[in-house]
Structure 1
């Protein structure tokens, strides 16, 4: 049974103290300083209990407000790194057994993405920074009646085309551990590996440049989708961690 946990004594609505109460549900305290909730309202997020374990439910619903120009409910993590570093991003996720996909249209629907941002080393700011689509993303769709996950990768500046992998099937109502290992690079030695449920071989692989600029790219986990998709959906997130990876 899944139940809502009241956030007693977590500070005024909309405060950083309240935000951290949500974040502590899914990550260690060392990651919280780099992390934020990207939700337009409290209706998009709740803490749930399932078999005495807490997770974070991120919800999209018809008519919800837009945030940063889009329909989203996400957690963002701006973990510091430099180009040519290798970083591991890991979390667990689950969809309800009644999760409604966007079949047959299968318009874009992202559950994990890595975005570029202004290069502070070049004195760039958000005021003069041109927005791009994410150079690395994990998207869902439905293939032959089965929910599926695919990796899309490659720079998105200057009209460059990205590459999408063949999708791999995932099940509704099942918790998945996903680890995405990224060797960050603007040149051909960039690499992305996506592993599911600790399986030793990567389920999804992308090679080649994966950065839009030389500054660190930040992670967003949850749901971000085409604005004309009108279903109500939830994704459950837990055990989010980010660390350096020495396999790159």
Structure 2
């Protein structure tokens, strides 16, 4: 059996009807069992007593690049601070890139609406540059048993220059091995210039799906800026996971960002 045929067999475990999505338990068992810690809902305020966070992992080149800090606007509040300087990279399973990120081990379900909320803050130390700098991303879970490589995130918040871009990426290819073939990209939103030294409240509602029932809605400061309908995920055994922090192209400039009040819940 070819890898593509094997992947298509795995995908047949999800049967989409007009009323609901049903999984055939016999076919679903072909997806390898994997343990992803996390509850179906969570609320995190980055209290030092709860650090390091249960169910989260840290990807950081050094201790200065990611740590708990006082809120720049409220010394009584604890937040997480991210900083990347030129040349600071971290080697992961697949790449060596500049990054300082927290990522949640929980995997979202397919075909079930889910909501995420969090706040981000860009101080003066965020030195704008014309490079890609992801501050939040929803990353796919590659099917390693099919030798699949990691693909670019299905959904990403990207600060480019002084603007925030919201991007979606999917692919009709079931088994991906190069992160380039038949990728579908779309910029869903491009903001006005970002204001420094203020908190931005972000809410995302999404239905992860490689089919027509997928959708993405995004609100910034309470105003809806994205209302997208279409595919939102790759055809995988397990759904996307959330990452926050800084993942960027290298730059001579220093980037600093704060984040707080992460929430996730099924709708």
Determine the structure 2 residue equivalent to 1:136: 155
* Aligned length, in residue pairs: 207
The answer to whether residue 248 in structure 2 is matched with residue 237 in structure 1 is no
Whether 1:196 aligns to 2:220 is yes
Counterpart Cα distance in 2 of 1:159 and 1:28: 46
Inter-partner Cα distance in structure 1 for 2:132 and 2:228: 19
Per-residue displacement from partner, 1:194-213 (whole Å, max 9, x unpaired)? 1112x2x4212332111112
Equivalent position to 2:67, from 43, 46, 51: 46
RMSD over aligned Cα, in angstroms? 2.4
CA separation of 1:187/1:113 partners in 2, compared to 1, >3 Å: closer, same or farther?
same
Change in Cα spacing, 1:240 to 1:28, as seen in structure 2 (3 Å) is farther
Query: C-alpha separation between the residues in 1 aligned to 2:208 and 2:47?
Result: 25
- CA distance in structure 1 between the aligned counterparts of 2:107 and 2:131, rounded to whole angstroms: 32
Contact 1:58–1:234, Cα closer than 8 Å, also in 2: yes
Contact 1:26 1:240 in 2 (8 A): no
Which residue in 2 is equivalent to 1:211?
233
Query: How far is 1:192 from its partner?
Result: 1.1
The correspondence for 2:114, drawn from 60, 63, 87, is 87
- C-alpha displacement of 1:98: 4.2
| Residues 85-144 of structure 1 deviation map (CA, whole Å, 9 limit, x = unaligned) | 111111111010342111xxx22111111111134xxxx45x9331211121111123xx
In the alignment, which of 53, 70, 75 is matched to residue 102 of structure 2?
Answer: 75
The residue aligned with 2:199 is 175
Deviation above 3 Å: which 4+ runs of structure 1? 26-29
Determine the C-alpha separation between the residues in 1 that align with 2:100 and 2:69. Answer: 16
Q: 1:159 to 1:93 in 2, by over 3 A?
A: same
Question: Residue by residue, what CA displacement relative to the aligned partner does 1:161-201 show, whole Å, maximum 9, x if unpaired?
Answer: 2100241123111111111111111012211111112x2x4
Gap runs ≥5 in structure 1: 1-22
- After the TM superposition, which residues 120-131 of structure 1 pair with which residues of structure 2 at under 5 Å, given as runs? 124-125=144-145, 128-131=147-150
Q: CA deviation at 1:242?
A: 1.2
> Following the alignment from structure 2 to structure 1, what is the Cα–Cα distance between the partners of residues 69 and 260?
11
Runs of at least 5 residues in structure 2 that lack an aligned partner in the other structure: 1-43
Corresponding residue for residue 137 of structure 2? 113
Residue aligning to 1:149: 164
Distance 1:205 1:110 in 2: 21
Residue 28 of structure 1: how far off its partner (Å): 10
Equivalent residue number for residue 247 of structure 2 = 224
Q: 1:28 to 1:162 in 2, by over 3 A?
A: farther
After superposition, what is the alpha-carbon deviation per residue over 1:7-59, rounded to whole angstroms, capped at 9, x for unaligned?
xxxxxxxxxxxxxxxx8726996x94431112122121122113211111011
Post-superposition offset of 1:79: 2.3
Indicate the structure (1 or 2) with the bigger Cα radius of gyration: 2
CA–CA separation in structure 1 for the residues paired with 2:199 and 2:64: 23
Give the match's secondary structure for 1:79: coil
CA distance in 2, matches of 1:202, 1:211: 21
